[in-house]
Amino acid sequence: MKKPLILVTNDDGITAPGLRALIRFMSEIGEVVVVAPDSPQSGMGHAITVDDTLQASKDDKESPDGALVEYSCSGTPADCVKLALQEILDRKPDICISGINHGSNASINVIYSGTMSAAIEAGIEGVPAIGFSLCDYSWNANFEFAREAIKSIVSEALHNKMPKGVVLNVNIPKMEADLPKGIKICRQARANWKEKFDKRINPRGKEYYWLTGEFELLDKGEDTDEWALANGYISVVPTQFDLTAHHAIQELNSWSL
């Protein structure tokens, strides 16, 4: 049987260890084409490039991790997927896999995530998509322990077909020794960032700011992604790019508009 075509991307950049690990894992399942940012693009959300040109450079060297071909793109994660689908690939991929992100994209973080925005962009274009993140911000994080779980989730998505209009947000707990306890299908936890700005003065006397803050979990439920991760499980949250609050339509229709 013909191997599935897998588009791989990320937001940490084409040299990121998480991406390199993901390429190796996906190469065991199908034929991999990589289109990823040429530099880190974390926290870009669903930004796209509209006021500048885009460049995509093909790496003529053989991929060390097993990809058919690799392209580095000057744009955002969403740009990478758009360019891959419209210009680079000669056929529609069977699935788009984004990651493995260095750091959590659970709960409210999904809104800001370039990793998940790349996956969602693929979903908008009708390509099944999954974003993977490891709750470890270290550049030298261990990704190997999650190999079989990641391959299992991707294989199931290919075999069973993804629900229409749904993109999976998968987060993997940081593990020191043991393997994750299992995989849980969850809802997104209610949480927020209690943000602050660290104001400083540069050598020329100009003010500048560093965004800081603390993660604030507002949800005590045991069916959330944050609960699963805190208790040693891999969380899988089905997300959608239709942002309509359907439950509010009836209430809004009662307004005197």
| Binding annotation for a divalent metal cation | 11-12, 42, 101
- Rounded (to 5) percent helix, strand, coil in the chain: 25, 30, 45
Which residue has 């990651």 as its token pair? 99
- Of residues 120, 145, 99, 133, the one with CA closest to residue 229: 133
**For residue 211, what are the β-bridge partners?**
197
Contact 192, 216 (CB under 8 A): yes
Binding residues are 11-12, 42, 101
Q: Taking CA 107 as the corner, what is the angle to CA 102 and CA 108, rounded to the nearest 5 degrees?
A: 95
Contact 19, 25 (CB under 8 A): no
Q: Report the length, in residues, of the chain.
A: 257
